[in-house]
């Protein structure tokens, strides 16, 4: 008879024995032993059953007081004690043997754990920044709450975009939210919750639906005429304490039409899919070059599906090259390594690229390598993964040291009104003390075309051309801080004659906030003005612009000169969405209705 032992209280089968007063054990010759019950089956470890054995002589009579010893075949499936108590200790099959004198008998005992529950635990239930992870453990248990070895659970997440889980149970924070992580084995499952809580100085991120500017605010942010589509605090970009943001640029994947923000962090570059502007997805992070030091200044531009990244004051950083096609299809954030590192410069302040020619211009180089006096370090990027040095240009007499130091520039194949230079590659440089114009068509023999100063110069920082190449709008980063101008100042240069640029107008903003990067698309200028945030300006009348709207990315600050707040913006996505960085706050996705 076969008996199944399940995870319920076991019965006791009493063995026959002599009277308690009988002093001696009788061991006559025996003819046979009968074990009760017959074969046993256990479905959980730790279960027990008590066996009895009856010894009979050759005539079939019970031998009273016969001594019986118990044993087992192996040591890994069951244990049996002197009283015949059998305990399941491992999966498998074994024989339990009863012996009396020369007689013996055995039964088969089978142990096969049957899953009864999946117990799920997690080492941390709250993740505070993107790329942090939690380890989910799933233990399959039998009916006696003993672990079943060798059972492999399948993990799933209720929020796979925000908190994806790997086959090994690693949950990685991608976006803020709360997910139920389920571990399944057959029809059984167990669950645990994991949350991602990304907070910035203004609270958690804002995603899921656009927030229009109503009554002068969009959420906690003062605004006018601009819709907040989403806001990601620095923690949502993988940044921990002490990490702030700087530059931002964009990449549109021509193969998929997806749009990506490339976001500078003090310690490297973050990548965000902003195709869905209300639900941006952090995809991963590229650290600074090994051996370099974290610093506030990073700059990035894009050419041929590759990002080119420099850092200033960072030591041996060089120019990182990163193949952006690695971002395609990512579902879980990850840390990347550079595709290549160009080492003929060490530190540099800005990266300039003319996509029409495939040449890059590293500017503000210092700390070793071929610095080109801090001017244009020209690089052939036409084989993006293997850049090569192409030449130097520095505009003598400009820059604080007179060495031709260029802080930032825009280089184009000129298509403006000056016929003498049409079709030439022209760089418009912001050279600390002056506007610089150079013809770099021949990389081996570039030519200084013109330079121009202006009243109350403090630090000629950056500028951008109108699309017809007629005007160049320049910001001076320090004139407000040094008290040289009453309000945020943009200088409007008429460059219809490249040999003789003329200051044609000045546009003053509504506050004294310092200005930083500004870019032009169509008849609008998008100006990052640090503590005032980003301004959108109508430049249809080129020399008399009119502000259309603004979005204050750091409302806790008083809109005065200084370097906190909006660092930069990128308004060139085909979708019309605008991405904006703010140093301590994070990344904003905006839209002008």
3-state secondary structure 33-48: EEEECCCEEECCCCCE
Distance CA 500, CA 450 (A): 7
Q: Are 534 and 590 in contact (CB under 8 A)?
A: yes
Same fold, 3-111 and 117-198: yes
How confident is the model at residue 62, as a pLDDT?
93
Q: Is the pLDDT of residue 394 over 60?
A: yes
Pick the closest to residue 264 from 253, 248, 278 (CA basis).
Answer: 248
Alpha-carbon distance values, 40 to 7, 26, 47, 179 (Å): 13, 29, 11, 44
- Whether residue 37 is preceded by a cis peptide bond, meaning omega within 30 degrees of 0, is yes
Pick the closest to residue 297 from 251, 348, 371 (CA basis).
Answer: 348
Q: Are 480 and 527 in contact (CB under 8 A)?
A: no
Alpha-carbon distance values, 214 to 93, 141, 208, 224, 230 (Å): 74, 56, 18, 8, 16
Q: Is the pLDDT of residue 120 over 60?
A: yes
Q: Are 72 and 79 in contact (CB under 8 A)?
A: yes
How confident is the model at residue 27, as a pLDDT?
47
pLDDT band at residue 438 using 50, 70 and 90 as cut-offs: very high
Q: Is the pLDDT of residue 8 over 70?
A: no
Encode burial over 391-422: b for 16+ CB neighbours within 10 A, e otherwise: bbbbbeebbeeebbbbbbbbbbebebebeebe
pLDDT band at residue 31 using 50, 70 and 90 as cut-offs: confident
Q: Is the pLDDT of residue 483 over 60?
A: yes
Starting at the edge strand found earlier in the chain, the sheet holding 85-88 runs 48-50, 85-88, 78-80
Residue bearing tokens 């952006």: 324
Distance CA 589, CA 570 (A): 10
Least confident of 21-25, 26-30, 202-206: 21-25
Alpha-carbon distance values, 105 to 469, 550, 574 (Å): 103, 92, 85
Distance CA 287, CA 268 (A): 4
Q: Are 284 and 236 in contact (CB under 8 A)?
A: no
Tell me: domain 3-111, CATH 2.60.40.1080, correct? Answer: yes
CA angle 56, 57, 62 (to 5 degrees): 40
Distance CA 505, CA 491 (A): 6
Token pair recorded at residue 475: 């910001």
* pLDDT > 90 in the chain, percent: 90
Least confident of 16-20, 356-360, 407-411, 577-581: 16-20
Tell me the three state secondary structure of residue 61.
coil
Q: Are 95 and 131 in contact (CB under 8 A)?
A: no
Q: Is the pLDDT of residue 12 over 60?
A: no
Residues 36-69 have pLDDT tens digits of 998 999 999 999 999 999 999 988 899 998 999 9
Residues 547-564 have pLDDT tens digits of 999 999 999 999 999 999
Q: Is the pLDDT of residue 22 over 60?
A: no
Token pair recorded at residue 343: 């080492």
Residues 232-277 have pLDDT tens digits of 999 999 999 999 999 999 999 999 999 999 999 999 999 999 999 9
pLDDT band at residue 5 using 50, 70 and 90 as cut-offs: low
Q: What CA dihedral angle connects 270, 274, 280 and 282, to 10 degrees?
A: -20
Once rounded to an integer, what is the mean pLDDT over residues 70-99?
A: 95
Looking at the chain, how many residues does it have? 593
Quick one: fold of 117-198?
Immunoglobulin-like (2.60.40)
Task: For 281-299, give the DSSP string.
Answer: EEEEEEEPPTT----S-EE
How confident is the model at residue 58, as a pLDDT?
87
The alpha carbon of residue 73 and the mean position of all alpha carbons in its chain are separated, in whole angstroms, by 56
How confident is the model at residue 397, as a pLDDT?
96
Residues 515-546 have pLDDT tens digits of 999 999 999 999 999 999 999 999 999 999 99
Q: Is the pLDDT of residue 298 over 60?
A: yes
pLDDT band at residue 16 using 50, 70 and 90 as cut-offs: very low
Q: Beta strand pairing status for 281-287 and 227-233? A: unpaired
pLDDT band at residue 306 using 50, 70 and 90 as cut-offs: very high
Least confident of 25-34, 206-215, 227-236: 25-34
Residue spans per domain, the chain: 3-111, 117-198
pLDDT band at residue 331 using 50, 70 and 90 as cut-offs: confident
Once rounded to an integer, what is the mean pLDDT over residues 332-339?
A: 96
Token pair recorded at residue 469: 């190449």
Once rounded to an integer, what is the mean pLDDT over residues 566-587?
A: 98
Q: Beta strand pairing status for 103-111 and 40-42? A: parallel
pLDDT band at residue 4 using 50, 70 and 90 as cut-offs: low
Average pLDDT, the chain: 94
Once rounded to an integer, what is the mean pLDDT over residues 453-469?
A: 99
Q: Is the pLDDT of residue 387 over 50?
A: yes
How confident is the model at residue 208, as a pLDDT?
94
Distance CA 144, CA 151 (A): 16
More confident residue, 66 or 450: 450
Q: Are 144 and 127 in contact (CB under 8 A)?
A: no
How confident is the model at residue 6, as a pLDDT?
56
Pick the closest to residue 302 from 365, 350, 261, 249 (CA basis).
Answer: 249
Tell me the helices (H) and strands (E) count for the chain, helix number first: 0, 52
Distance CA 588, CA 229 (A): 8
Once rounded to an integer, what is the mean pLDDT over residues 300-315?
A: 98
How confident is the model at residue 486, as a pLDDT?
97
CB atoms under 10 Å from CB of 331, counted, come to 12
How confident is the model at residue 122, as a pLDDT?
98
Distance CA 238, CA 236 (A): 5
């Amino acid at each position: 008879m076969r008996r199944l032992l399940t995870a319920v209280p076991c019965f006791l089968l009493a063995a026959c024995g002599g009277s308690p007063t009988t002093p001696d054990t009788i061991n006559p010759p025996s003819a046979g032993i009968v074990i009760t019950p017959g074969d046993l089956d256990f479905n959980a470890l730790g279960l027990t059953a008590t066996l009895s054995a009856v010894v009979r002589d050759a005539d079939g009579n019970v031998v009273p007081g016969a001594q019986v010893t118990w044993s087992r075949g192996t040591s890994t499936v069951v244990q049996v004690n002197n009283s015949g108590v059998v305990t399941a200790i491992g999966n498998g099959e074994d024989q339990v043997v009863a012996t009396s004198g020369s007689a013996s008998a055995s039964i088969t005992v089978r142990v096969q754990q049957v899953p009864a529950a999946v117990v799920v635990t997690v080492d941390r239930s709250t993740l505070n920044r993107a790329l942090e992870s939690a380890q989910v453990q799933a233990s399959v248990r039998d009916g006696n709450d003993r672990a079943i070895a060798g059972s492999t659970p399948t993990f799933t997440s209720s929020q796979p975009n925000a908190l994806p889980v790997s086959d090994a149970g690693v949950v990685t924070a991608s976006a803020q939210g709360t997910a139920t992580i389920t571990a399944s084995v057959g029809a059984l499952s167990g669950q645990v919750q994991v949350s991602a809580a990304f907070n910035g100085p203004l609270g958690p991120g804002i995603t899921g639906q656009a927030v229009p500017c109503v009554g002068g605010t969009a959420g906690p942010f003062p605004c006018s005429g601009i819709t907040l589509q989403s806001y990601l605090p620095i923690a949502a970009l993988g940044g921990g304490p002490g990490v702030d943001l700087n530059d931002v640029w964009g990449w549109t994947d021509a193969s998929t039409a997806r749009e990506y923000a490339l976001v500078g962090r003090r310690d490297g570059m973050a990548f965000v899919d902003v195709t869905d502007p209300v639900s941006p997805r952090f995809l991963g992070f590229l650290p600074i070059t090994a051996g370099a030091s974290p610093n506030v200044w990073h700059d990035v531009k894009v050419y041929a599906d590759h990002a080119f990244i420099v850092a200033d004051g960072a030591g041996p950083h060089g120019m990182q090259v990163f193949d952006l096609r690695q971002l395609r299809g990512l579902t879980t954030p990850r840390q990347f390594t550079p595709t290549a590192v160009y080492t003929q410069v060490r530190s540099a302040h800005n990266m300039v690229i003319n996509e029409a020619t495939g040449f890059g211009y590293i500017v503000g180089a210092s700390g070793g390598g071929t610095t080109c006096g801090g001017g244009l370090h020209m690089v052939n990027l036409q084989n993006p993964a293997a850049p090569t040095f192409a030449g130097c240009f520095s505009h003598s007499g400009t820059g604080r040291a007179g060495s031709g130091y260029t802080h930032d520039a825009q280089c184009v194949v000129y298509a403006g009104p000056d016929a003498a230079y049409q079709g030439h590659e022209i760089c418009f440089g912001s050279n600390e003390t002056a506007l610089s114009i150079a013809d770099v068509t021949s990389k081996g023999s570039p030519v200084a075309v013109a330079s121009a100063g202006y009243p109350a110069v403090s630090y000629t920082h950056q500028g951008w051309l109108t699309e017809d190449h007629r005007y160049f709008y320049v910001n001076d980063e320090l004139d407000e801080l040094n008290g040289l101008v009453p309000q945020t100042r943009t200088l409007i240069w008429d460059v219809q004659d490249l040999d003789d640029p003329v200051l044609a107008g000045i546009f003053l903003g509504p506050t004294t906030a310092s200005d930083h990067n500004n870019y032009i698309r169509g008849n609008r200028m998008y100006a990052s003005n640090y503590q005032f945030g980003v301004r959108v300006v109508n430049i249809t009348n080129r020399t008399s612009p009119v502000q259309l709207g603004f979005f204050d990315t750091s409302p806790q600050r008083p809109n005065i000169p200084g370097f906190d707040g909006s660092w930069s913006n990128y308004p060139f996505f085909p979708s019309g969405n605008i991405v904006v960085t703010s140093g301590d706050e994070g990344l904003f996705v905006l839209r002008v209705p």
